[in-house]
Structure 1
Amino acid sequence: MWRLSTEIMLVAGMDAKIMAANPAMLALVGQTEQELLGQPFMDYVHPSDRKATLDEVAKLDKGLRTLNFINRYRGEGGVYRTVSWTAVPDNNVIHAVGRDVTAETEAAEQLRKAELALQQSQKMESIGNLTGGVAHDFNNLLQVVSGNLQLLSKEVVGNDRAVKRIANALDGVNRGAKLASQLLSFGRRQPLEPKVINIGRVVTGMDEMLKRSLGEAVEIETVVSDDLWNVQVDPTQIENALLNLAINARDAMDGTGRLTIEACNITLDAVYARDNSEVKPGSYVMLAVSDTGSGMSPEIVAKVFEPFFSTKPEGKGTGLGLSMVFGFVKQSGGHIKIYSEVGEGTSIKLYFPQVLSDEDLIIDMDVGKIEGGTETILVAEDDEAVRATAVELLRDLGYSVITANDAESALVVLQSGVHVDLLFTDVVMPGPLKSPELARIAREKNPSLSVLYTSGYTENSIVHGGRLDPGVQLLSKPYTKEAMARKIRHVFANQAQRNQSLSVTPTPTIIIPATVSRNILLVEDDVLIRLNTADMLEEMGHQITEVGNGTDALKMLESGNFDVLFTDVGLPGISGIELAKGARTRFPNLTVIFATGDPNVPSLAGSGMTKVLLKPYGEDNLRSVLLDIP
């Protein structure tokens, strides 16, 4: 084993040929004395270090008596070792003593990289906090604009010019919302909806969109490996990331050049992880976007992921595209790397960890408008304009409304005895009492109270790991009147079902067995509702399998032989409607029962029956909906 403390000694002539070497030098290069003697010592120096070494040796001719320098020597097996040399001339020969400092050099380099990574991480975290706050205020402003435009639209019916202008303004709101979404993605505060997907299908499915977006002068080459592994990411975000990278590449090529999109399986080993501290060794799927554009200097590369940094002319970009991609990749547990040289183009590589689960079906959901109600809603919102707009939208839907400008004021209202059916509260409000704590206290006093959060961005109080906490209902700003109406009815329906479950008395009942025992897959994210429904169905004699989300339900459908899919509509991630459409694609004869507060559900393909069971439901309702299933 090589000892770092062993001194390396050699003697060389002024012609650079080795005249003598000690055992440590022989061990370093892995040669015998006969093989080494007579060889030019420069042959063993790393090519990148040869000029600097020759420059040092040349100083001897100028009268310098002692040289101190470091270079890399080719050792046994072609592995280079870093050696610190002290050399002195003596009668036309050079006596050199060296010390192997490879370990010290590598340790110093790793420390330097770690310090730079920490500085970058701290900088990105600070910018992320800033952008999260900006997005929150920006979405509040968008909500005021959007809400008032929607209210105004009723008053200009029949005025085509005014209707068109309102539509254009709402389109601007949507673009602004997308901008805020990019900020949140960078700040890693965007609630993701990850699904198990094959990135190759995403890439090939975007061919036409990319061709239209980039223009005919950009040649697009797509290389997708066979047997690509699955990954778990948000499909919408991966599409946005790919589109952003492609548009950046087009601009770097001035609209003309070759864009290469590559997706392949790759293993990042311990050596790569050592040089990239945030990477865990393992199996990844790499998505790379490469261009033949102008490339970037190292100084530019170091800044490209910062929000609002752009090399484009003023007015030609927001500087958020790459920062959004960076935040999304990091929040998805992935890794991003950029390679670029001035005049040589740029390649940006995204790495996502492999997952062993089967691919989820991605189905577009289309649900119609629904009506409001007559319940009483307490709106807790510190922004006066946002609060006023929300109140008008809710009253327009028929609700009675009480307002509070912070959590403490809302708690006073709730403790006063005034009847409230729903607490509609912003997540981020000033004051010592936070919204989640307000909701907890309120529900302790009134377990039947419904709670719906709203926010311009989500914070750790209700989101962990990029996902909403179980049982939390969130309406993100800016929202439409229709989205508000649908979400509120869903929250009320779930609460009504939960209330009914809590009020079930333990008095003996006569259980009427089902005529036919069904194998039912029950999908409900609310634990209390799921347990209560499962109990009622089992008492009827049916076989029940319970899951809490659509992703698990799709996997369970593949592994079991089910007669009925009984699903809530408002599931987190994959909605009940998406789940049902995917299930019917695979199992056309499967009976689907939607449990919902909204009777307007889309039709499903296939020959199986589709039924709607309105919440809240009881045992008789369950028995009735299952009676005429063949």
Structure 2
Amino acid sequence: MLVVDDDWEDYLLIRSALEDLGRGRFACDYVADYAAGLEALRTAAHDVCLLDYRLGARSGLELLRDAIAAGCHVPVVMVTGEGDDQVDAAAMELGAADFLTKQEITGPLLARVIRHAITRADDSAELRRRDERHRALLEHLSDSVLVLDADARVTYASPAAAPMLGWTPDELAGQDMFTLLHPEDVPYARERFAACLSEPGLPLQVECRVRHRRADYRTIEVIAVNRLNAPSVRGVVASFRDVTERKQAQAALREARDTLQTLIDSAPLAIISLDLTGRVLTWNRTAEGMFGWLASEVSGRTPPFLNDDQLSEFQGLIGRVTSGETLKDVEVSRHRRDGTPIEIALFATPVRGPDGRVQRVLSMLMDNTERKSLQSQLAVAQKVEAVGGLAGGIAHDFNNLLTAILAPAELLIETLSGDPESVRDVTEIRDAARRAADLTRQLLAFSRRQVLQPRPLNLNEVVTGMTGMLRRLISEDIDLHTSCAGELGTVRADPSQLEQVLVNLVVNARDAMPNGGRLTIETANVEIDKTHASTQLLVTPGSYVMLSVHDTGAGMSPETQARLWEPFFTTKPKGKGTGLGLSTAYGIVKQSGGYIWAESEPGQGATFKILLPRVEVAADSLATAPLDAPPRGTERLLVVEDDDMVRRVTQRTLTANGYDALVASSGGEALLLAEANAYKFDMLVTDVIMPGMSGGELAERMRAMRPTLKVLFVSGYTDDVVVRHGVLEGDVAFLQKPFTSDSLLRKVKDVLTVG
């Protein structure tokens, strides 16, 4: 060891303490001044140095600093006469291994301090070796390293910086790093550098553009750590690498990914990818709109649109795809977030990785609800069309037969007034014919082949006018409640047909509440926009008036609702219903240009809603004068009818009530009669469909000779047939077969009076 102390007695004290630990264990050299001490330390021939703080006029701290500057690595223990924390701290900061107070020196303490100093020296030597190794590694790193001072000037540049920036390390030394950055990046870089200075030891990352010597800019990724307080570094260490090509590749990849994502999100199909267990990996915007869940809500989960009873089916489909099968147009049922069911057409295919193994399932889902509904509606429409075609085909002959029964029956009732028993028999015949006529009208109504007589009307007046009759239809334990909206819009419809619709719905509601309940009839103005139109299929956006009938009865199952509008479908016991009530209502509403649908669940009652287009005209009043006796007349009429029975009963009814009625069986015969009578007829009553010449053509030819001639068209055919034969184009008088004598007489009088 080396003892540097200007006091010989202090040296003897130290040597004595060491001898107490055992002679020959320590070898001590002694010098008393600064110069000798510095020279001895330069030789590095000692394991440890005990250095006195005061060396005459010089300071031990000064010697310590100069020795370390000269490359001395001998561990130094600073010895002071009295404890002085500032001196001790200064010594440790300069690089002293430890410090001692002379008054505290004992052999054991001195031995521990020496061992500690030597150990620290060994550690420092190891650190120096590591430092040299790290420097060697640093010189060969592919990443560039700069060391900056607190003003961001380069104090060191690794060799890798030269090819990256085009400047040699010597050329970079002393440069202000901010002058090399792109002007747009300087404010952000200064902000990050200031943060780095304020937080020593904390790595901070920044990305910026640096100017190459060629004057182009390269994008670099920098990690900087403040090591200004580290004696071995004294700077901010900035490690950086050139990421220009990577950034360009990332930008190209991002653009391609964004383009692909845009295409996926813009696709009209819901595109969903799943892992091999069926959990959601991706979920596009169409899927969000179709089902109501956001992608962030379903990621990593089994799709939430599954009911418990659909999970096994779902897992089965996943298993088929993961085994390599591609699924095409598989029809499945799912539900939206609000619980509404949705019919899906599913397409799914396996996605394989580079090794050929299935990694995920890609599925595309198409909302099939509308198509399925349309198919269902088409099936109903086809059934309606088939039955309607049959009804239309037989309507003419059947209505002629009913006319030939009804009119004579009424005449017989009048003539047999003195014979009650005969009147009763004929009345039963008439009533049976009326029921048959009602059945024919129902067949024509649901098939939309009846002749409507629409007029502007207010549905409130229809509802209030029927309330009394409806109360008689239902049982006493059913509470009938009406809620009519104020300032209700006007619709254009046939009031008698709407009354029939309301009766059918109320009767159905009554039958659904055998133990009583509440029946509510409501009207309201409704605006249907595109959003609402999509929830009720085929409803055109616009202004409507709604009529709804709600009951608190048993409700309906989905299976029943699917067949609700089918003709002859009924859930009532045999003999309790024909199955034509709702199909009749459906046909009347559709023929009136409106929409009808049902909302129901088992045990929750049912609501039937009707939408009729609103029209901007004033409603006609439905008030009617009380009927008096059938009107009589004296006018001369020409009746043209190809059916013998109808022709005879028509002539008999008219002549029995004062009219002069001539008859013809065809258009040609009618023209001959007209010519023979100089066309002096007050009115032409003609069937529409006749062999050879139609009623429309006959009326046109007769009006050419007598423009003031009144015309009443009669037909048992349906409206589309009548229209094709030139009738009902404008305000024309029309009488639908089968008719009674009363309806014939009133219609004739009305045409003669009004025109």
Short-chain TM bin: 0.5 to 0.7
Which residue of 626, 631, 646 maps to 1:370?
Answer: 631
Q: Distance in 1 between matches of 2:447 and 2:513?
A: 29
Amino acid of the structure 2 residue aligned with 1:96? R
* Contact 2:383–2:566 (CA under 8 A) maintained in structure 1: no
Which residue of 579, 591, 604 maps to 1:331?
Answer: 591
Structure 1: state its 5+ residue gaps: 494-569, 572-630
CA-to-partner distance for each residue in 1:306-344, whole Å, 9 max, x for gaps? Answer: 444333333322332212211210121100112344555
Q: Which residue of 1 aligns with 2:711?
A: 451
Equivalences for 1:534-573 in 2 at 5 Å? 570=754
Compared with structure 1, are the counterparts of its residues 315 and 117 closer, same or farther at alpha carbon in structure 2 (3 Å cutoff)? closer
CA-to-partner distance for each residue in 1:373-418, whole Å, 9 max, x for gaps? Answer: 262x332212221112112222223444443333344345445667
Which residue of 463, 467, 471 maps to 1:203?
Answer: 463
* Contact 1:456–1:477 (CA under 8 A) maintained in structure 2: yes
The answer on 1:387 being equivalent to 2:647 is yes
Compared with structure 1, are the counterparts of its residues 73 and 84 closer, same or farther at alpha carbon in structure 2 (3 Å cutoff)? farther
Name the SS of the counterpart of 1:3 in structure 2.
helix
Name which one, 1 or 2, has greater alpha-carbon Rg.
Answer: 2
Which residue of 345, 348, 352 maps to 1:84?
Answer: 348
CA-to-partner distance for each residue in 1:278-321, whole Å, 9 max, x for gaps? Answer: 42112222222233444445454344434443333333223322
Q: Which residue of 2 aligns with 1:96?
A: 360
Which residue of 320, 340, 361 maps to 2:580?
Answer: 320
Equivalences for 1:167-186 in 2 at 5 Å? 167=427, 169-186=429-446
Q: Which residue of 2 aligns with 1:137?
A: 397
Equivalences for 1:291-370 in 2 at 5 Å? 291-342=551-602, 344-366=604-626, 368=628, 369-370=630-631
Amino acid of the structure 1 residue aligned with 2:300? F
Q: Distance in 1 between matches of 2:583 and 2:703?
A: 40
How far did 1:215 drift? 0.5
Compared with structure 1, are the counterparts of its residues 52 and 323 closer, same or farther at alpha carbon in structure 2 (3 Å cutoff)? closer
Equivalences for 1:210-609 in 2 at 5 Å? 210-254=470-514, 256-274=516-534, 278-342=538-602, 344-366=604-626, 368=628, 369-373=630-634, 375=636, 377-414=637-674, 421=681, 422-429=683-690, 431-460=691-720, 463=723, 468-492=728-752, 570=754
Amino acid of the structure 1 residue aligned with 2:359? H
Identify the structure with bigger relative contact order (alpha carbons < 8 Å, sequence gap 6+): 1
* Contact 1:192–1:467 (CA under 8 A) maintained in structure 2: no
Q: Which residue of 2 aligns with 1:42?
A: 301
How far did 1:219 drift? 3.5
Q: CA RMSD in A?
A: 4.5
Q: Distance in 1 between matches of 2:312 and 2:402?
A: 61
Compared with structure 1, are the counterparts of its residues 300 and 467 closer, same or farther at alpha carbon in structure 2 (3 Å cutoff)? farther
* Contact 1:283–1:353 (CA under 8 A) maintained in structure 2: yes
Compared with structure 1, are the counterparts of its residues 66 and 42 closer, same or farther at alpha carbon in structure 2 (3 Å cutoff)? farther
* Contact 1:436–1:462 (CA under 8 A) maintained in structure 2: no
CA-to-partner distance for each residue in 1:515-554, whole Å, 9 max, x for gaps? Answer: xxxxxxxxxxxxxxxxxxxxxxxxxxxxxxxxxxxxxxxx
Amino acid of the structure 2 residue aligned with 1:454? V
Amino acid of the structure 2 residue aligned with 1:441? R
How far did 1:242 drift? 1.4
Amino acid of the structure 1 residue aligned with 2:405? V
Amino acid of the structure 2 residue aligned with 1:349? K
How far did 1:249 drift? 2.0
Name the SS of the counterpart of 2:496 in structure 1.
helix
The number of equivalent residue pairs is 474
How far did 1:3 drift? 0.9
How far did 1:210 drift? 2.5
Identity percentage of aligned residues: 34
How far did 1:28 drift? 8.5
* Contact 2:306–2:335 (CA under 8 A) maintained in structure 1: no
CA-to-partner distance for each residue in 1:48-79, whole Å, 9 max, x for gaps? Answer: 4655444455679xxx6446568999999x9x
CA-to-partner distance for each residue in 1:188-230, whole Å, 9 max, x for gaps? Answer: 3444343444434433454443332110233434444455433
Which residue of 419, 427, 452 maps to 1:192?
Answer: 452
How far did 1:426 drift? 1.4
Q: Distance in 1 between matches of 2:286 and 2:745?
A: 76
Compared with structure 1, are the counterparts of its residues 227 and 52 closer, same or farther at alpha carbon in structure 2 (3 Å cutoff)? farther
Q: Distance in 2 between matches of 1:261 and 1:193?
A: 24
CA-to-partner distance for each residue in 1:436-482, whole Å, 9 max, x for gaps? Answer: 11221233244454432222345346559x99433522233344444
Compared with structure 1, are the counterparts of its residues 319 and 428 closer, same or farther at alpha carbon in structure 2 (3 Å cutoff)? farther
